[in-house]
Amino acid sequence: MSPAHNTAVPFETELLERHRQQRASRLSLPLRTDEDVVHLRKHVRERAVGIGLSLVDQTKLVTAASELARNTIKYGGGGEAHLDELADGVRKGVGLIFVDDGPGIPDLDLALRDGYTTGGGLGLGLSGSKRLCDEFVIDTRPGEGTAVCVVKWKR
Mean pLDDT computed over 117-133: 73
Residue-level length of the chain: 155
Residue 80: phi, psi to the nearest 5?
-150, 160
| Cα angle value 41/86/152 (rounded, 5°) | 55
Model confidence pTM above 0.85: yes
Q: Give me the pLDDT at residue 36, please.
A: 98
Q: Give me the pLDDT at residue 124, please.
A: 55
116 occurs within a structural domain: yes
Q: What's the total number of domains in the chain?
A: 1
44 occurs within a structural domain: yes
Cβ pair 47, 18 in contact under 8 A = no
How does pLDDT run across 68-77, given as a tens digit for each residue?
999 999 999 9
What is the per-residue burial (b if ≥16 Cβ within 10 Å, else e) of 2-20?
Answer: eeeeebebebebebbebbe
Residue 42: phi, psi to the nearest 5?
-60, -45
How does pLDDT run across 78-88, given as a tens digit for each residue?
999 999 999 98
How does pLDDT run across 5-29, given as a tens digit for each residue?
444 457 899 999 999 999 999 999 9
4 occurs within a structural domain: no
CATH number at residue 31: 3.30.565.10
Min mean pLDDT across 10-19, 32-41, 56-65, 144-153 is at: 10-19
Mean pLDDT computed over 101-105: 94
Above 70 in pLDDT, residue 3?
A: no
Above 90 in pLDDT, residue 1?
A: no
15 occurs within a structural domain: no
